[in-house]
Structure 1
Amino acid sequence: MLGMVIVSHSEKIAEGVRELALQMAKDVNIVPAGGLCDGGIGTDLEKIMNGISEADSGEGVIVLMDLGSAVMTTEMAIDMVENDVTMIDGPVVEGGIAAAVTIMSGGSIEDIKKAVDECKTINKF
């Protein structure tokens, strides 16, 4: 099964997205990689690299990121690991849940991208 890493500038956001997604996809290995090592706001290359390694069970990893530098730091992390990693563009909360459910149901990377992409247009009311 694919693993998933949530990269956020905030440790609490990454952990919260993981917590929500696990409510609907409890068997998916979701690793939060949020904030700096000292608990501050930012993205940490080593945290992301470790998250990718931890999430990978041998079938690959998808990564969802929140903002600009999270994308850049994730790209650097991917360049430094040997894992099969796919970055997915989409909203972190809704997309994280959609990705986890799609992984849980055996969806492909393309299925996951489509599910996350559909979250970009969700109307809340």
Structure 2
Amino acid sequence: MVGIVIIAHSRTLAEGAAEVARAMGVGKAVVEPAGGALDGGLGTSIDLVEAAVAAADDGDGVVLVADLGSSVLTARMLIEDTDGENVLLADAPLVEGAVAAASMAATGADLTAVHAAAEAAYDHRKTR
């Protein structure tokens, strides 16, 4: 099953978004948080992201969903370090993208479909 990693500047934010995404993935989707700096403060950590990717990846790949700024840069750095091997960064809103990815992953969809579902979250407007 495709795994999802949520990269955020706050450990609490990443854990909360992961909790919601897991619930929407009906307990089947593997969603790992990678939030905050190694010291527990705000920031991002390539070490935390690498550990989360390793925990989420069962061989079918991992979709990364990042909040902003250095989280995106950290995700891109990880992808460069792994030559993009089965790891894709979604251009998606954090919570909505993670929920869409987890819902799609729970169906057994492949990496391309899970990534597309995360990115399609921009299409779902909250107001009209």
Aligned residue pair count: 125
Quote the sequence identity (%): 37
Structure 2 letter corresponding to 1:73: T
Q: Where does the alignment leave 5 or more consecutive residues of structure 2 unmatched?
A: none
Query: Given that residues 8 and 36 in structure 2 are in contact (C-alpha distance below 8 angstroms), is that contact kept between their aligned partners in structure 1?
Result: yes
Q: Deviations over 1:32-88 (max 9, x none)?
A: 000001111111011111111111111111100010211111111223347521111
Q: Hey, what does 2:81 align to over in structure 1? A: 80
Query: Given that residues 63 and 87 in structure 2 are in contact (C-alpha distance below 8 angstroms), is that contact kept between their aligned partners in structure 1?
Result: yes
Query: Given that residues 14 and 33 in structure 1 are in contact (C-alpha distance below 8 angstroms), is that contact kept between their aligned partners in structure 2?
Result: yes
1:6: how far off? 0.4
Q: Where does the alignment leave 5 or more consecutive residues of structure 1 unmatched?
A: none
CA distance in 1, matches of 2:47, 2:113: 29
**Alignment partner for residue 105 of structure 1, among 104, 107, 111?**
107
CA distance in 2, matches of 1:9, 1:42: 5
Q: Hey, what does 1:59 align to over in structure 2? A: 60
CA-based RMSD: 1.6
Structure 1 letter corresponding to 2:103: V
CA distance in 2, matches of 1:55, 1:14: 14
SS of the aligned residue for 2:89 comes to: strand
Cα distance, 1:27–1:36 mapped onto 2, change above 3 Å? same
Query: Given that residues 46 and 74 in structure 2 are in contact (C-alpha distance below 8 angstroms), is that contact kept between their aligned partners in structure 1?
Result: yes
**Alignment partner for residue 93 of structure 1, among 92, 95, 101?**
95
CA distance in 1, matches of 2:118, 2:2: 15
CA distance in 2, matches of 1:30, 1:114: 17
SS of the aligned residue for 1:21 comes to: helix
Query: Given that residues 63 and 115 in structure 2 are in contact (C-alpha distance below 8 angstroms), is that contact kept between their aligned partners in structure 1?
Result: no
Q: TM-score, normalised by structure 1?
A: 0.90
Q: TM-score, normalised by structure 2?
A: 0.88
